[in-house]
Structure 1
């Protein structure tokens, strides 16, 4: 079993504050599609900068300090002592930090400038350069079985982990289990997701930024809670819980309930306040499982001090922001976990050994766009939320069950592996560099058209996407992606199966201690040994030697696969 205390960067417990949001703001603002118990950020004035302020004590005292420093509280997350603030005062940060009861303050984001052709936030998960690949099913001895979904023969991933009608689904399908998708949203109109989508509890905690996300689709710049204008969240949701409805694809937990807990903008950025807000909400409504296929922007790794920088420069302001991101996200994760939420996260796609003494980062800061400055930092600089002690961190494998070349790894950091897709897998066979090596899942049709995956009629433009239509003319769009973002929801889905199988039933559905879920995931995972010689070499696949991965550990637990590859069938087998 993995030791949760072995992961770096424990968050401190945060007390619940008792003063209501309305008392501080003097108004009532609600998240999109939400009843009045869930506050959401108000759209800030375009001329004002947006800040996040952490405080101790009563919210009204903090609000007074913020106002005295020239700020206006636009939203409050009382449970962890955090306020979203706007200010036009250039000295606001220095002023508010000097006031009593304020733990810290930083910019939530700085407005960047969009440009034509600005890359998609998750561009590396769709290997565009290789779109000329083959059919996606070369030499694959796959079969769907008599009760399989129509596109099951393309879902090698579900067959690998036994998430099929003739294996895990004989014992559990996720019925009565709530899975939160903290991502870019969920397209609730997709035929494979609509039957399992919960509109009542779904929330959108983001506000579109026109300079980066493009023109707002709604006057308030706040999308409804059943929309995904990026596509990433919808793909993730389909892996978790696409319905077994004789249509399209099937999910790992096809009867689980999907709750959209949106923290990512249309452009795919996950800013600090929105991330904290989503995690706290997940805890407050006591979701059973949450999937987190992202890192908190703008820093891939968040350091606490200048001493952790080996190479590269950093300003005092940037360090303050990194420290606040660490503190608040770790605290929000602890808050959700303490309320029974099993948290699953993606390990990242930088092909780095997270257990090595240092980490190279050419990504941060990634917002505003083009702001990144390469740096080398110590491994105490954390990727959050995935490196929080309570989060099950997932690496990715391809169809051959080999760690995908892009996937991060590291003994003590990665805890389990799952299918994430790998275009370059099965080298030396006809399947090499074919779309079928990736993972097929649901995708919003309007986004597919906008991104050039489908033509204006909704037809796929290449082999990387699929359209399925039933006899009634109802159609769904699907696309192939790869990444640890894609591996993580497989584990979240298996967690849902475990909770149905072993959880206790109550008025609000199933429940099971997250520590128990993690133990079952570990105990049931299929062990995967290190490669002969102790190094996974990727030069045959056309990669440079820096992709090669040293595998530390044993067959039972190692840096490439953690406790092994997740196994849905074994996780719910009769005991």
Structure 2
């Protein structure tokens, strides 16, 4: 999972560690929701969420508190306002019409792990992508064998032999690829740090026309600490086919890299991939871009979205934690409310919602402590005592299918969050510490496409293009090379489920907006019905110890805290009669 990209949270870990939303309905005369009201000293921009039917009262509250209205979003029920700091937010909270008040600033993270250490090592902070960095070990750096047209015709790509994850779920030449590869009419949205739409193992399936970028990169945080670095383009808004992090590209590749005789193949190699970017280069996710991305997905006819991130700055959002100030409580309430409304909007328009569960190595049904919040601005984290009323968003939001991660032996990955309430499905996410198979080191992680410029920046390939370690694989033919990276995390697990959902929609969807359509309720039922049931470990109900904490698997084969309703199964999805 991604969060602040370089930490964990439900998306994949940043590449650096890898060595590891639709237009709003505006009030007449208001500026666009994405624009700022005229700046004034000491004023900040806020998203003010109001109760149904409470817009007029909330507008009066904004003005009474000394604020100015910039815009109103009637779709999701919030006001964009400017006001004088935290005191402004607390004054708004006194209104019966106001549910939450959240600063409109960079918040969020990806779901990837930040270190390739085993369970004996405490997990990194959960503020980055949901992918874990690949284990580092020496490598020759030699290119992989060139692609073979015959191999592609047989339903395999040159690096398919390294994709243990696809074998685990039946996405192989003799498995699902021979039965159903998905349809170009099925649109899969990647809400992430971007997608490298020019990567040779993504380009054929990349839908540039529908792709959007809802974020503006932020070179530094309010304290002057570097975040995204220098802007590459004027206005700091990257093109819709760019990914300066790599997390989103890896996710997209796992979902739908084509069977084209190049590199790897995705779960559904014939679907259309749509970049619906809501994360910055560093991997932080603003609340508003996340809402905008989900709203756009609903309006654009996208069938499935993959969310390998959590919205920050809070790993867990608590609406009434006594350890938090009133302003902090209102901010967390705003995040829960705003994301849920955006999810409901998208799901009501046919979008199946898939999320990484998280890399906190904890039981989300019984959380006791949050040491990672608030994750923005950098360095503001403090330890809080929490309980199960606090939510990880969007993994614990309603209507979302949340996915835990397993390693190559099918053991729950040491870093993966779990819980009988929260885990809906499981899927391969990689685990460097999983010694249950003959695989070693990076081979225990998930291999997928990576942007060359990101690898070069992170010194994972040298000036000549040669990989500097085993976490990166170069595959060349006809003088052109493409790059792939091993990563681990629940960020890597979720896209396997998104790909299987795309196969089901390709087979059973009906003509609809954008191509094919299928109700999220039916997709969810079929995902569960086609999953491979996995029992809790036989040795009692416990597995292994992580940082002196014992992970306990509760429940039976039909539904348990480690595997949910089971492991996603592409072959069964490709062959079920419905």
Q: TM-score interval w.r.t. the shorter chain? A: 0.7 to 0.9
Q: 2:293 pairs with 267, 278, 291, which one?
A: 278
SS in structure 1 of the partner of residue 327 of structure 2: helix
Give how far 1:305 is off.
Answer: 1.1
Q: Could you tell me which residue of structure 2 aligns to residue 13 of structure 1?
A: none
Q: Is 2:171 the counterpart of 1:163?
A: yes
1:186-205 correspondence runs (5 A): 186-205=195-214
1:481-520 correspondence runs (5 A): 481-506=487-512, 508-520=514-526
- Paired residues of 1:184 and 1:231 also in contact (CA < 8 A): yes
Q: Could you tell me which residue of structure 1 aligns to residue 332 of structure 2?
A: 322
- Paired residues of 1:445 and 1:477 also in contact (CA < 8 A): yes
Q: Could you tell me which residue of structure 1 aligns to residue 237 of structure 2?
A: 222
- Paired residues of 1:420 and 1:484 also in contact (CA < 8 A): yes
1:467-478 correspondence runs (5 A): 467-471=474-478, 473-478=479-484
Q: Distance in 1 between matches of 2:259 and 2:209?
A: 22
1:417-566 correspondence runs (5 A): 417-426=426-435, 431-432=439-440, 434-471=441-478, 473-506=479-512, 508-538=514-544, 543-546=546-549, 548-566=550-568
- Paired residues of 1:70 and 1:89 also in contact (CA < 8 A): no
1:143-162 correspondence runs (5 A): 146-162=154-170
Q: Could you tell me which residue of structure 2 aligns to residue 345 of structure 1?
A: 355
- Paired residues of 1:120 and 1:267 also in contact (CA < 8 A): no
Give how far 1:70 is off.
Answer: 5.2
1:127/1:19 Cα in 2 relative to 1: closer, same or farther (>3 Å)?
closer
Q: Distance in 2 between matches of 1:24 and 1:164?
A: 56
Q: Distance in 1 between matches of 2:278 and 2:301?
A: 17
Residue segments in structure 1 that go unaligned for 5+ positions in a row: 1-16, 30-38, 113-117, 137-143, 308-312
- Paired residues of 2:24 and 2:73 also in contact (CA < 8 A): no
Q: Distance in 2 between matches of 1:444 and 1:103?
A: 41
Q: Could you tell me which residue of structure 1 aligns to residue 408 of structure 2?
A: 399
Q: Deviations over 1:434-491 (max 9, x none)?
A: 10100011111111111222223332110000111222x2322110100001000000
Q: Distance in 2 between matches of 1:380 and 1:304?
A: 8
Q: Distance in 2 between matches of 1:43 and 1:440?
A: 45
Q: Distance in 2 between matches of 1:417 and 1:133?
A: 31
TM-score (norm 2): 0.83
- Paired residues of 2:100 and 2:334 also in contact (CA < 8 A): yes
TM-score (norm 1): 0.83
Q: Could you tell me which residue of structure 2 aligns to residue 109 of structure 1?
A: 105
SS in structure 1 of the partner of residue 485 of structure 2: strand
Q: Distance in 2 between matches of 1:72 and 1:490?
A: 45
- Paired residues of 1:135 and 1:435 also in contact (CA < 8 A): no
Q: Is 2:240 the counterpart of 1:232?
A: no
Q: Is 2:569 the counterpart of 1:567?
A: yes
Q: Distance in 2 between matches of 1:486 and 1:73?
A: 40
Which stretch has the larger CA shift, 218-227 or 377-386? 218-227
Q: 1:262 pairs with 277, 280, 284, which one?
A: 277
Q: Distance in 1 between matches of 2:175 and 2:505?
A: 17
Give how far 1:163 is off.
Answer: 1.4
- Paired residues of 1:534 and 1:552 also in contact (CA < 8 A): no
Q: Distance in 1 between matches of 2:540 and 2:35?
A: 49
Give how far 1:531 is off.
Answer: 1.1
Q: Deviations over 1:364-395 (max 9, x none)?
A: 11111111111221112111111112111100
SS in structure 1 of the partner of residue 294 of structure 2: helix
Q: Deviations over 1:402-441 (max 9, x none)?
A: 11111011112101100000011125x6534x10100011
Q: Distance in 2 between matches of 1:422 and 1:491?
A: 18
- Paired residues of 1:421 and 1:481 also in contact (CA < 8 A): yes
Q: Distance in 2 between matches of 1:74 and 1:166?
A: 57
Q: Could you tell me which residue of structure 2 aligns to residue 387 of structure 1?
A: 396
Q: Distance in 2 between matches of 1:397 and 1:46?
A: 50
Q: Deviations over 1:121-140 (max 9, x none)?
A: 53783446x4126799xxxx
Which stretch has the larger CA shift, 298-307 or 101-110? 101-110
Q: Distance in 2 between matches of 1:271 and 1:337?
A: 21
Q: Distance in 2 between matches of 1:111 and 1:554?
A: 37
Give how far 1:108 is off.
Answer: 2.6
Give how far 1:45 is off.
Answer: 6.0
SS in structure 1 of the partner of residue 293 of structure 2: helix
1:293/1:54 Cα in 2 relative to 1: closer, same or farther (>3 Å)?
same
Give how far 1:83 is off.
Answer: 3.6
- What is the RMSD computed on CA atoms of the aligned residues? 3.1
Q: Could you tell me which residue of structure 2 aligns to residue 374 of structure 1?
A: 383
- Paired residues of 2:25 and 2:72 also in contact (CA < 8 A): no
- Paired residues of 1:19 and 1:59 also in contact (CA < 8 A): no
Q: Deviations over 1:283-302 (max 9, x none)?
A: 12231100000111011111
Give how far 1:195 is off.
Answer: 1.3
Q: Distance in 2 between matches of 1:94 and 1:186?
A: 39
Q: Distance in 2 between matches of 1:111 and 1:431?
A: 37
1:509/1:372 Cα in 2 relative to 1: closer, same or farther (>3 Å)?
same
SS in structure 2 of the partner of residue 306 of structure 1: coil
